[in-house]
């Protein structure tokens, strides 16, 4: 090494040290900031409402904000105050008016602007509630361009208006002839939710769920009434195709527990479980106790020892419980963890089911026939599963098709809620994913060609198919969907005809035999860019033709456009940015389970004239 080079190195070291010292000198007392609570919510909204979105997805932030406000109104009804809630959705804003007790006027501003302030920390004001941290309405306030709260109470009325979480003005006003209660109007801030749009169907679905969970409560959306007389019994009936139930659903309700269930000719299990009005998509101890109570009741009534799986196959059930201090296993409140509720739920369900079976012997016999058929099918499957042992040996020889992650769904690691497995086509796409993924929580399974079209096939055909058998075993759902190994099952296929066909085949598999996995929100579609638009200085990745055209126009004549037809065409270095923190996943959702079988039959069943006419009439 020459002396000149030595001098250059020393100079470089001195420059780096000087830069480091300069950076260090900037970190002083003035660098420490204390953000106002609502300002912190605006700066880190994802911590409080999850995804932001534009209103196109049911989990988008604007619907979370809507839910927080309606929850408070429903809490008043649960406590016995007010039987009506008026809701308006207009020009990107929501208005929610309840007829409960009204927020105490002296604490009106504090209740909607100060974190950890509310009436749900003790049991004097509210006995049953999900949100006990005093954050919900404050987050709505902080994330709104305009937020107005008005309370009528004790013959007086007070109102307060906020803009971007900052109090604009407050005043007492003439209460007129208005009944007591609270009204909140808010507009999600377009700066935080650019180009958002409120979808009426999303709002309507939520209101129907509120109605089913609170029989007797009338909710009005722009004048249209949402009301359920029979509660969860109406919910079960709403999920059934006409004539699908093998017997009249069994329904029970008391002050803290309500459930309803029936059986259909379908396979699999479907449940909708709730705690204090919160949908628990991953169930928990209350759902396990519900299943246990049904099993014990049926075995005791018929003096049998049926396998629980035979009892539950084909079941459609729903349960809602009210608990004073619910403990959830995650921040998203998807799974209840209270172990102390198991005994009373299971015992109550058992006795209620036995009473119903005794009162309706004909219905009980129909249920018995279904269980006996399930038992016969299971024995046939067991014979097939013996073949599965041979399949497993063959699978072990090619287990390099699965590149697992270090953590799994249900463990206690910080990655549990984020664990995902990519079901992808072929080795090239799988190779890019494997190279780019985070092995802590992202697993990859490469499919071999197109999966088997399982529509209308018996279970033995599914268990006999090597590829589908291995998918079940890899996901952990071979015996029970509750054993799912990954929080997100992600279908990752190419953006071409073959890729879409593979996606449809996998969707058919899950909808036909593991519908509860879809209902509970664990199935996703992986979105990757269709185009790359770049010049020497700038690169854009585009997810639509419109975005491609806009970016190409922005870069001008020097723009180079690449169309990605397959995942394998994207280099691992590029791929890494698409499966990191900014990953685009589209959750597969079912607005209504009615008509699913008919839809699958039309698209995935045998060819017929109706489908041929549909194709001919919709050719692009």
Domain 46-226 and domain 232-378, same fold? Reply is: no
* 116 phi and psi angles, rounded to 5 deg: 65, 30
All residues at 6 or more sequence positions from 455 whose CB lies less than 8 Å from its CB, including other chains: 508, 512, 600, 601, 604, 605
Do 524 and 585 meet the contact criterion of CB atoms below 8 Å apart?
yes
Q: Is 253 helix (H, G, I), strand (E, B) or coil?
A: strand
Q: What is 232-378's CATH number? A: 3.30.230.10
Class of domain 46-226: alpha beta
Question: Which segments in the chain show pLDDT lower than 50?
Answer: 1-10, 121, 130-134, 396-398
- Give the pLDDT of residue 267: 78
Report the distance separating Cα 249 and Cα 602, nearest Å: 29
Report the distance separating Cα 529 and Cα 544, nearest Å: 8
Whether domain 398-528+573-617 has CATH 3.40.50.670: yes
Do 205 and 114 meet the contact criterion of CB atoms below 8 Å apart?
no
Report the distance separating Cα 595 and Cα 599, nearest Å: 6
- Give the pLDDT of residue 555: 92
- Give the pLDDT of residue 4: 46
Q: What angle do CA 85, 88, 93 make, to 5 degrees?
A: 130
H or E element, residue 89: strand 84-90
User: Which tokens in the block code for residue 36?
Assistant: 């106002």
Q: Give the strands of the sheet with 181-188, arranged side by side.
A: 166-173, 156-163, 144-153, 181-188, 93-98, 84-90, 218-221, 224-226
Report the distance separating Cα 454 and Cα 176, nearest Å: 64
- Give the pLDDT of residue 6: 46
Report the distance separating Cα 548 and Cα 536, nearest Å: 17
- Give the pLDDT of residue 234: 95
Do 87 and 70 meet the contact criterion of CB atoms below 8 Å apart?
yes
Q: How far apart are the first and last CA of the chain?
A: 68
All residues at 6 or more sequence positions from 57 whose CB lies less than 8 Å from its CB, including other chains: 51, 586, 587
- 8 CB neighbour count, 10 Å cutoff: 11
- Spell out the domain ranges in the chain: 46-226, 232-378, 398-528+573-617, 531-563
- Give the pLDDT of residue 410: 76
């Amino acid at each position: 090494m020459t002396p000149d080079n030595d001098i250059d190195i020393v100079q470089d070291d001195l420059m780096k040290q000087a830069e480091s010292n300069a950076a260090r000198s900037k970190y002083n007392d003035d660098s420490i900031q204390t953000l106002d609570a609502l300002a912190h919510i605006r700066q880190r909204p994802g911590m409080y409402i999850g995804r932001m979105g534009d209103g196109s997805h049911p989990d988008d932030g604007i619907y979370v904000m809507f839910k927080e406000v309606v929850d408070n109104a429903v809490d008043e009804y649960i406590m016995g105050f007010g039987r009506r809630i008026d809701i308006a959705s207009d020009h990107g804003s929501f208005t929610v008016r309840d007829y409960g007790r009204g927020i105490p006027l002296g604490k009106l501003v504090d209740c909607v602007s100060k974190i950890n302030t509310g009436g749900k920390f003790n049991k004097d004001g509210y006995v049953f509630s999900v949100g006990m941290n005093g954050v919900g309405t404050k987050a709505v306030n902080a994330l709104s361009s305009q937020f107005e709260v008005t309370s009528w109470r004790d013959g007086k009325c007070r109102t307060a208006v906020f803009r971007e979480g900052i109090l604009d003005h407050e005043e007492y006003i003439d209460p007129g002839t208005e009944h007591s209660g609270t009204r909140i109007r808010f507009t999600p801030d377009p700066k935080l939710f650019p180009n958002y749009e409120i979808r009426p169907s999303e709002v309507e679905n939520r209101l129907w769920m509120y109605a089913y969970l609170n029989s007797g409560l009338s909710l009005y959306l722009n004048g249209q009434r949402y009301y359920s007389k029979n509660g969860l019994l109406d919910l079960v009936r709403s999920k059934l195709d006409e004539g699908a139930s093998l017997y009249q659903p069994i329904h029970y309700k008391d002050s803290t527990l309500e459930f309803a269930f029936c059986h259909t000719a379908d396979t699999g299990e479907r449940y909708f479980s709730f705690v204090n009005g919160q949908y628990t998509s991953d169930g928990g101890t209350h759902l396990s106790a519900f299943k246990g109570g049904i099993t014990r009741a049926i075995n005791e009534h018929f003096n049998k020892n049926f396998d629980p799986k035979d009892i539950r196959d084909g079941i459609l059930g729903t349960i809602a419980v009210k608990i004073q201090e619910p403990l959830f296993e995650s921040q998203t409140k998807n799974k209840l963890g209270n172990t102390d509720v198991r005994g009373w739920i299971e015992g109550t369900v058992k006795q209620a089911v036995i009473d119903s079976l005794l009162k309706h012997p004909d219905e009980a016999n129909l249920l018995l026939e279904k269980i006996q058929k399930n038992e016969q099918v299971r024995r046939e499957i067991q014979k097939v599963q013996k073949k599965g042992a041979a399949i497993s040996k063959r699978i072990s020889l090619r287990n390099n098709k699965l590149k697992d992650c270090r953590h799994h769904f249900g463990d206690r690691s910080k990655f549990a809620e984020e664990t995902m497995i990519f079901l992808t086509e072929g080795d090239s796409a799988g190779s890019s994913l494997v190279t780019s993924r985070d092995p802590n929580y992202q697993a990859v399974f490469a499919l071999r060609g197109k999966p088997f079209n399982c529509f209308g096939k018996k279970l033995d055909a599914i268990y006999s198919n090597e590829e589908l058998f291995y998918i079940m075993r890899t996901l952990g759902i071979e015996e029970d969907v509750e054993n799912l190994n990954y929080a997100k099952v992600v279908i990752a296929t190419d953006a071409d005809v073959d890729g879409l066909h593979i996606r449809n085949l996998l969707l058919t598999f899950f909808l036909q035999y593991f519908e509860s996995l879809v209902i509970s929100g664990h199935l996703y579609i992986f979105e990757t860019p269709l185009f790359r638009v770049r010049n020497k200085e700038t690169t854009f990745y585009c997810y639509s033709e419109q975005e491609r055209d806009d970016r190409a126009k922005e870069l001008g004549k020097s723009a180079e456009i690449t169309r990605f037809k397959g995942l394998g065409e994207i280099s691992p270095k590029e791929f890494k940015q698409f499966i990191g923190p900014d990953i685009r996943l589209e959750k597969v959702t079912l607005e209504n389970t009615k008509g699913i079988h008919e839809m699958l039959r039309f698209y995935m069943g045998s060819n017929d004239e109706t489908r041929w006419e549909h194709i001919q009439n919709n050719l692009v």
